[in-house]
Amino acid sequence: MLALLKTIREAIVNWWSEFTLQTKLLAAATLVVSLVMSGLTFWAVNTIQMDARLNDTRFGRDLGLLLAGNVAPLIADHNLTEVAKFSQRFYSSTSSVRYMLYADETGKIYFGIPFWEPEVETSLSIERRIELPEDYAADAEKPMVRQHRSPDGEVTDVFVPITVEGKNLGVLAIGINPNPAAVISTNFTRDVTIAVFISIWVMVILGGVINALTITKPIKELLVGVKQIAAGNFKQRIDLPLGGELGELILNFNEMAERLERYEEQNIEELTAEKAKLETLVSTIADGAVLIDNSMQVILVNPTARRIFGWEGADVVGENVLHHLPSAVQMEISRPLYEMATGECESAQFRIHLTQPIQRTIRILLATVLDQQRESVKGVAMTVQDITREVELNEAKSQFISNVSHELRTPLFNIKSFIETLHDYGEDLSAAETKEFLATVNHETDRLTRLVNDVLDLSRLESGRNYHLDGVDLAQAIEQTLRTYQLNARDKGIELIQDVAPKLPLVVGNYDLLLQVLANLIGNGLKFTKAGGKVALRAYQLEPKSNSHSQTPKVRVEISDTGIGIAPEDQEAIFDRFFRVENRVHTLEGTGLGLSIVRNIIEKHHSKVHLVSEVGVGTTFWFDLAVFDEQVSRIEKLPPAA
């Protein structure tokens, strides 16, 4: 039973909790009004009944006293016939009297209207008595009055003692019918109260239904629509056929939603265009760019940053950036990132060496992104610069300066030493010694001049200067170079061989630069070839490949010698600045810049120097030059049309 009551109670509570605050307030107000009306009705009915009872009491007392006074002498004379006649006339003349009973002092009824004892005894054979209170005759002037309920209403019972000359002869009991007007008024008031009570609830229920159909439902629809609009669903519409203010409100809501939808479409197009512009701009930035929000989530990343961090195959947008950064970067910037996200600092800079995905050195710049009022931090912008080339150039620069300083120091020291010796001890030296010292100074000066010229040539080539390339007669350049070194080769006992194909076409190049290339390569060949060896210079046109119809015809130039050769481990570094084979073999002097100059010049001609060498056998350098096309060159040199 308790479980059932508990279940019912929980069901009622759940049912009540589902109602809205408005419905609960309406029910509470209806209950209060109903209780007030019920209370007023109860008070009105009770007041009417009390007045009716009071009137009936007064009427009953007066009527009882009047009857008792008239029948007392007859009862004293035992003239019951006259008592009966008088009582019958009186009962018949009024409808207010419900009954009239005469009893002796013991309470035995001996006459009554509308019945009397002989009839009762004849029909029922029972004795009727009145249970009289002990003090009913205490005050003959104030009869005892009481009421009892009947189907017609409350009947007033009046007990009047019958006394004659102070002697108690019995009691007269008179029943007074309820006042018809009071009964009708009471019943009417009760019916009206019930009707009002029921009408209030009916009106409230009907009002709630009408309110739900005409007001609540549209308002709920409006509420749902407003929530949808607030959530960004501007396609929301309300379709309710209502008029009046609610209809106008719904119409205005639909118009507002339509305008917001059009505005959103325009904004989306503009934002999409701006986002595309921004992404295009960011993607074209040479440096890496990563935009991070306050929770370390990646918002935007450009291709350069993906390449540097190895994110090409990963979708890092929306992910925590610290989970995808290389460990070296993560350890370095984690704390500064969180400090910047909380506004503790505004910028930071780091230089980090990476080993993954490839060896490189990067510079990371962190800067906070503020809102329009520049009051709160919205995120952090990370700029990633690949400074590997810069670091290498700085190292190369330092190495270059160190090498140049070293190379300059030796001839300068020798020049200074011999000049100081001549200055201090010139008078003590013989003419032969003086001549030897001066020859050494001259040799070191030439060496210093060559070094300075090579440095200037290399610097000029690496500066990015553009050289004019035109048709060059390669046979003439080869002949001039061999004439220059013919005497030197004869002195060393080395044979110079010229092997140039007849009718060699012009090549695209710069005559002076090609002369410098040939001079360096022939000079190196003579330097590293012993007496009795050979140095050959060949030039011939390459045959075009059968499977290529658009390949530019080329001329190949080869410089071969039968010198000491180059070890395999040195062939990779032979074109580096200040790298000299003689550093390994300790035989000859040089600046170590010749082949570096050759490489730069050939690269200016859009080609590449190759070599084949074997230690103790010899070395061959070769490169290809494009054949000069006079017609194409003439078209390129025409002035632009006006």
Contacts of 635 (CB under 8 A, 6+ apart): none
The one-letter amino acid code at 498 reads Q
Please list the alpha-helical segments (H only) found in 353-430: 388-425
Question: What is the location of CATH 1.10.287.130 in the chain?
Answer: 392-457
Q: Has domain 285-386 been given CATH number 3.30.450.20?
A: yes
User: What is 466-636's CATH number?
Assistant: 3.30.565.10
DSSP-assigned states of every residue in 245-258: HHHHHHHHHHHHHH
- Residue 368, phi-psi category: left (phi > 0), alpha (psi -120 to 50), beta (remainder): beta
Which homologous superfamily does the CATH classification assign to the domain defined by 24-28+35-186?
A: PAS domain (3.30.450.20)
pLDDT of residue 642: 33
pLDDT of residue 18: 65
Question: What is the location of CATH 3.30.450.20 in the chain?
Answer: 24-28+35-186, 285-386
CA distances from 148 to 7, 63, 175, 178, 536 (A): 45, 18, 10, 10, 155
pLDDT of residue 620: 92
Query: SS3 for 74-112, per residue?
Result: HHHCCCHHHHHHHHHHHHHHCCCEEEEEEECCCCEEEEE
Please list the alpha-helical segments (H only) found in 428-566: 431-462, 474-492, 511-527
Mean pLDDT by runs of 10 across the 642 residues of the chain is: 79 71 71 74 71 73 79 80 81 80 80 64 55 63 74 77 79 78 64 73 71 65 75 72 69 78 73 67 73 84 82 82 83 84 81 79 84 76 82 72 68 80 79 82 76 67 70 89 85 90 89 84 87 91 70 88 84 68 48 76 87 88 86 45 34
Tokens matching residue 236 = 């929301």
Question: What is the location of CATH 3.30.565.10 in the chain?
Answer: 466-636
> What is the CATH architecture of 392-457?
Orthogonal Bundle (1.10)
